[in-house]
Structure 1
Amino acid sequence: MEDGIARQSAGYTPSVWGDYFIKNQAPCSSTTQKTEELMRERVEELVREVKNLLDNTYKDELQSLELIDSLQRLGVGYHFEEEIDKRLREYHDHNGKIEGNDLQAVALKFRLLRQHGYNVTSGTKYKDDEGKFQSNLANNVRGLLSLYEACFLSTLEDDILDEALNFTKHHLQSLSDNDQLDSALKILISHALELPLHRRIPRLGARYYMRVYEQDKESKNDIVLELAMLDFNLLQLLHNEEVKSLSIWWEKIVHDAKFNFSRDRIVECYFWILSVYFEPQYSMARKITTKVIALLSITDDIYDVYGTSDELQSFTDVIIRWDEEAAQQLKEYLKVHFHNLTKALQDFDNELSSHGKSYRVKYLKEIFKVVVRAWDEEVK
């Protein structure tokens, strides 16, 4: 009971993280700073070496495609965006077809080109006279795996890829128990059958793939592996700093305002966005988007659980007009929430202005209005 009003409660459980990301951070010292600096210098050296590798593999199409695929799966492809884009453009057949007979090379090229937005056709070159997939394809294990992964980038017009999915899945399932297979390849098959690459979270996939890549005698390159490990650790430091700053911000938003009715899920909000773009150049975007989702989460809980219909109607009117004067007449918790929304948008404006992108904040404000209108209709 609050202000004589019986408030609902959704009974949300506390965050499993608590204040972990606020208190459990590595101490910043001259030694750690020096270590990080040396790591960055080594990464720069390795990036230059890998660029040379990309240049040197140009004439061997399969080797080049495998290197590109490994770089992307290991989470370091962002260092080589220009080189990879250029290479794929060069490999792309202008009439939309993919030439070649090596199943692994053809399937891998198809997947990489589709991933990068090229409109390439799937073709029927691996079918026999009876319209079935050639039986000898089952002997090309890496080719089968590449084709299986490629099938998940099909469109409505790619009926052949639906057939290929059934064909490859059947043979890969039988191969997954084959003790004669290379251990790394066997792990990749099992992993792909559990969930294909196209449906996985890149950041989690990179950590997993590092362990597999290290065991893969056929594909492993020590320079690439060292780069992947160092880069992963450096990005982990950045991501930890981001989630720490967001946790501190959230602590102030929720606990100072006594929003104990709302879900405490700031870490989950951050991980959601980290899954979309993990690269360092998107640090500001991650933090802003996480805050937006978190603020929307509070607003959602206000409409779904805590607010009365009269309170929500008044709040909706204030949001739609974005009227700071009228906001002073709201219930205290709504007044505080509106203040937090306004301050967050002003902070976003300040951050984006140095990049010439502050105009985007007005569109975000309009989105808030659209969402609030929808929740208000839902309440009615």
Structure 2
Amino acid sequence: MINEETVVVDDKLELIDAIQQLGIAYHFEKEIKHALDSIFSKLDDIRMETKDNAYIIALLFRLLRAHGFIVSQVYGEDTLIEAQNFTIQHLKNFLSCSSHDSHKLRDYVANALEQPLQWRVERLHTRWFIDAYKKEEKIRPLLLEFAKLDFNVVQNTYKRELKEVSRWWSNLGLWEKLPFSRDRLAENYLWSVGWAFEPKHSTFRLAQTKTNSLITAIDDVYDVYGSLDELELFTEAVDSPSTSEAMSRNPSTAACTTKGSRRLLPVNA
């Protein structure tokens, strides 16, 4: 449907936006690119046709910019700043004047004011949007059902990955030998999901979680535990080409983090 010639531009843009916010755009990358290429080739005509529809103009601008199309934008122009302030103020007024059940847009407005779309963790937003999309008038049941199934499948992938890094972290034993260090494995994994949530990036998420967990431990060694002399030895050990040499001249705590850092190197990343 995305690339059907009979579908009007407004509907195409809304469909692409829904697919992205439902978290299933990675299944339709070629179709979305083809549709946006077609729209961009007719951009001047589309602008004229939709010039009185601020919603479609904003949606068109956001989708094209997000996919790398060259659409003029100079942040800092007085007009854009005024438009932003005007919009925020009126959205806040809308929330204060409407009851909880009076308007279907209330949830969208509250969510938009809480945090801009481009700053959100995609998978967390997808979970929220799946519930919000059920209330849409133009809901596409098959699309919604596919999004739910995909979300659950991807969640299972995350569970398997989290089990794997948890096993690695437990076997490493770093948190037992460095009790002063923060144990932030789950948070570090969530960070990697926020960076690249698609299933195909599993190797990246595993490697990044391990790296971030070791960086957290090393940061605490520097900031919380180590003396100046110990940290100088630790820094030398990290730079040393020989693991055995590093272990022989390093204090036990620094040696432990050095060993953990070196054990990460063979990981296929």
TM-score (norm 2): 0.89
Cα separation, 2, equivalents of 1:322 and 1:88? 51
Which residue of structure 2 aligns with residue 121 of structure 1? 72
Identical pairs, percent = 34
Distance 1:248 1:97, change over 3 A: farther
Which residue of structure 2 aligns with residue 338 of structure 1? 258
Q: Is the 8 A contact 1:318 1:327 kept in 2?
A: yes
Distance 1:181 1:111, change over 3 A: farther
Q: Which residue of 106, 118, 126 corresponds with 2:57?
A: 106
Describe the SS at the equivalent of 1:216: coil
Unaligned 5+ runs, structure 1: 1-52, 123-154, 353-380
Which residue of structure 2 aligns with residue 208 of structure 1? 128
Q: Which residue of 110, 114, 119 corresponds with 1:199?
A: 119
Q: How far does residue 183 in structure 1 lie from its aligned partner after superposition?
A: 4.0
Cα separation, 1, equivalents of 2:140 and 2:174? 49
Q: Is the 8 A contact 2:2 2:15 kept in 1?
A: yes
Which residue of structure 1 aligns with residue 148 of structure 2? 229
Is 1:70 aligned to 2:4, yes or no? Answer: no
Which structure 2 residues correspond to residues 215-254 of structure 1 after superposition, within 5 A?
Answer: 215-217=135-137, 219-254=138-173
Q: How far does residue 95 in structure 1 lie from its aligned partner after superposition?
A: 8.1
Cα separation, 2, equivalents of 1:114 and 1:341? 39
Cα separation, 2, equivalents of 1:196 and 1:97? 29
Cα separation, 1, equivalents of 2:19 and 2:203? 24
Paired letter, 2:83: A
Number of equivalences: 264
Which residue of structure 2 aligns with residue 323 of structure 1? 242
Which residue of structure 1 aligns with residue 33 of structure 2? 85
Question: Which protein is bigger by CA-based radius of gyration?
Answer: 1
Paired letter, 1:62: D
Q: Is the 8 A contact 1:261 1:306 kept in 2?
A: yes
Per-residue CA deviations over 1:342-375 (Å, capped at 9, x if unaligned) read 12111x2xx24xxxxxxxxxxxxxxxxxxxxxxx
Is 1:265 aligned to 2:184, yes or no? Answer: yes
Paired letter, 1:115: A
Paired letter, 2:22: L
Unaligned 5+ runs, structure 2: none
Q: Is the 8 A contact 2:174 2:256 kept in 1?
A: no
Q: How far does residue 312 in structure 1 lie from its aligned partner after superposition?
A: 1.1
Cα separation, 2, equivalents of 1:332 and 1:112? 53
Cα separation, 2, equivalents of 1:323 and 1:242? 31
Q: How far does residue 97 in structure 1 lie from its aligned partner after superposition?
A: 9.4
Paired letter, 2:203: M
Which structure 2 residues correspond to residues 1-380 of structure 1 after superposition, within 5 A?
Answer: 53-56=1-4, 59-93=7-41, 99=47, 100-101=50-51, 102-121=53-72, 155-176=74-95, 177-178=97-98, 183-217=103-137, 219-254=138-173, 258-329=177-248, 330-346=250-266, 348=267, 351-352=268-269
Paired letter, 1:113: L
Cα separation, 2, equivalents of 1:223 and 1:158? 42
Describe the SS at the equivalent of 1:303: helix
Q: Is the 8 A contact 1:210 1:228 kept in 2?
A: yes
Task: With a CA cutoff of 8 Å and minimum separation of 6, indicate the structure with the bigger relative contact order.
Answer: 1
